[in-house]
């Protein structure tokens, strides 16, 4: 472990877990930038990957330190509007303790997920053997050319997956660092969220983050076959978690941290551009009318209507409902599975529809993550619809845009999952 990591572990003012890993990642990016200025394009691919995993190894040492998130060190700050609504003398302590437990579980899940992603990256460090093999090309050793060809194929495949894993880690670590900034505050305190809504959102985020950790753990255990996975399994979950934390942050008081905020902004803009570039054509493949629902939410977002927030939330919930039903038609679900527990009033439950949407992927941890992710999204939509003390919620345009971006990413996630073949 580096001296810096040791100091972080033993000092009187430990570095929050998410922040330490975030800064390790920024060091990684700076190293890659320096490499690029000294190496030609042909050398950059190998040298960049080799340095990437060397830096991730350093980050992993920091991961294993005894850092404590600020959320575990400080008392929760409860807004007056929430405290006033908790009439009983015992209700406030219960609320505090429940929120604290949930925050600790979310933090632990992010920590575990990022450790598992680090473990996945380790399996691809072996492609560095390519350089040693290439050095033998001038030696008259029998069979060297076939071995080089084999190594080159491994390098090409490993390099492509390595790029995806490094992006997944960048997004996931940024999400963890962003959550560390919450400083123990209750999700939604910035908008005066009602206590029951706050606890509901927190519990759904707990479940989603735990499912994310479970998924990354399974991927790490199966990393030898990771190249055979559908791309959606590796690429989308970190982005979903980032958007979930980003939205939670938009409605919650958090500590300022310029470097993390800039990284979040970069990821947010990149994700928005990526989604916008493919969402319209993707929706057209399943149902062109779905685009109208999304456009309706965006029109409501920029309208002067004082009740526009509720209109946005209603449109987004309707969009999610139609997407789920379009991707899992009743008759198709019934033909696929007749388990009575999957039906209510002869209609498929949301769980049954999500199981059907994920059927081709057939990965239980991934399916569980999809369900928990959708549950968390709908909990946030409830906040924007009816979850504050104000009769006419006064959400800012930035907050509503975060809600729209979160829903767009989730819609693309579901459609790509359903279309995976």
pLDDT tens, residue by residue, 250-287: 999 888 888 888 888 888 988 888 887 788 888 888 88
Mean pLDDT across the stretch 312-322?
92
Decide which of 93 and 64 is more confident: 93
Higher pLDDT, 336 or 48: 336
Please say whether the dihedral angle defined by the alpha carbons of residues 396, 175, 20 and 51, taken in this order, is positive or negative.
Answer: negative
CA-nearest of 140, 17, 153 to 72 is 17
| Consecutive H or E run containing 184 | none
Q: Is the pLDDT of residue 201 over 90?
A: yes
Tell which wins on pLDDT, 71 or 348.
348
Alpha helices, DSSP H, located in 123-257: 129-135, 144-180, 195-221, 231-250
Cα distances (angstroms) measured from residue 260 to each of 13, 27, 241: 19, 13, 16
Per the CB < 8 A criterion, the answer to whether 114 and 237 are in contact is: no
| Segments making up each domain of the chain, as ranges | 3-419
CA–CA separation, 138 vs 386, rounded Å? 72
State how far the Cα of 87 lies from the Cα of 83, in Å rounded to an integer.
Answer: 8
Residue 20 is predicted with a pLDDT of 62
Residue 223 reports pLDDT greater than 90: no
- What's the rounded Cα separation, in Å, for the pair 139 and 213? 47
Please return the burial class of 325, using the count of CB atoms within 10 Å of its CB with bins 0-12, 13-18 and 19+. middle
User: Chain-wide mean pLDDT for the chain?
Assistant: 75
- Residues 303-324 have a mean pLDDT of 89
Q: Which residue has the higher pLDDT, 347 or 386?
A: 347
CA neighbor of 258 nearest in space, from 266, 30, 397, 103: 266
The predicted-structure confidence for 393-404, as pLDDT tens digits, reads as follows 678 889 999 999
Q: What is the pLDDT of residue 182?
A: 80
The answer to whether residue 81 scores a pLDDT higher than 60 is no
In the predicted structure, residue 337 carries a pLDDT above the cut 70: yes
CA–chain centroid gap for 111, Å, is 13
pLDDT recorded at residue 24 = 59
């Amino acid at each position: 472990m580096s001296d810096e990591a040791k100091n972080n572990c033993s000092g009187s003012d430990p570095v929050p877990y998410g922040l330490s890993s975030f800064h390790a990642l920024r060091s990684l990016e700076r190293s890659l930038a320096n490499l690029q200025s000294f190496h030609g394009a042909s050398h950059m691919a190998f040298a960049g990957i080799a340095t990437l995993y060397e830096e991730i190894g350093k980050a992993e040492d920091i991961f294993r330190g005894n850092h404590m998130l600020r959320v575990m060190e400080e008392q929760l700050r409860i807004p007056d509007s929430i405290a006033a609504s908790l009439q009983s003398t015992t209700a406030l302590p219960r609320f505090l303790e429940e929120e604290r437990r949930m925050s600790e579980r979310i933090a632990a899940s992010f920590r575990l997920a990022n450790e598992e992603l680090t473990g996945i990256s380790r399996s691809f460090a072996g492609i560095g053997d390519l350089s040693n093999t290439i050095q033998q090309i001038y030696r008259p050793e029998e069979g060297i050319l076939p071995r080089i060809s084999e190594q080159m194929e491994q390098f090409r495949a490993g390099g492509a997956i390595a790029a995806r894993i490094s992006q997944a880690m960048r997004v996931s670590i940024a999400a963890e660092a962003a959550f560390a900034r919450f400083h123990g505050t209750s999700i939604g305190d910035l908008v005066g969220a009602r206590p029951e809504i706050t606890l509901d959102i927190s519990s759904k985020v707990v479940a989603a983050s735990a499912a994310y950790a479970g998924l990354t753990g399974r991927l790490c255990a199966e990393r030898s076959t990771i190249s055979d996975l559908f791309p959606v399994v590796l690429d989308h979950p970190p982005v979903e978690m980032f958007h979930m934390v980003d939205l939670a942050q938009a409605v919650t008081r958090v500590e300022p941290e310029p470097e993390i905020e800039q990284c979040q902004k970069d990821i947010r803009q990149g994700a928005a551009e990526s989604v916008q570039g493919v969402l319209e054509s993707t929706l057209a493949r399943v149902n062109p009318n779905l685009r109208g629902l999304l456009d309706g939410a965006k029109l409501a977002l920029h309208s002067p209507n004082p009740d526009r927030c509720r209109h946005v939330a209603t449109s987004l919930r309707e969009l999610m409902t139609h997407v789920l039903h379009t991707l899992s038609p009743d008759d198709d679900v019934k033909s696929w599975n007749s388990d009575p527990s999957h039906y209510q009033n002869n209609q498929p439950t949301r769980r049954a529809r999500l199981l059907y949407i994920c059927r081709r992927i057939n990965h239980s941890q991934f399916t569980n993550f999809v369900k928990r992710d959708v549950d968390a999204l709908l909990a946030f939509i409830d906040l924007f619809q009816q979850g504050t003390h104000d009769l006419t919620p006064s959400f800012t345009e930035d907050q509503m845009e975060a809600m729209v971006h979160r829903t767009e990413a989730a819609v693309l996630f579901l459609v790509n999952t359903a279309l995976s073949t």
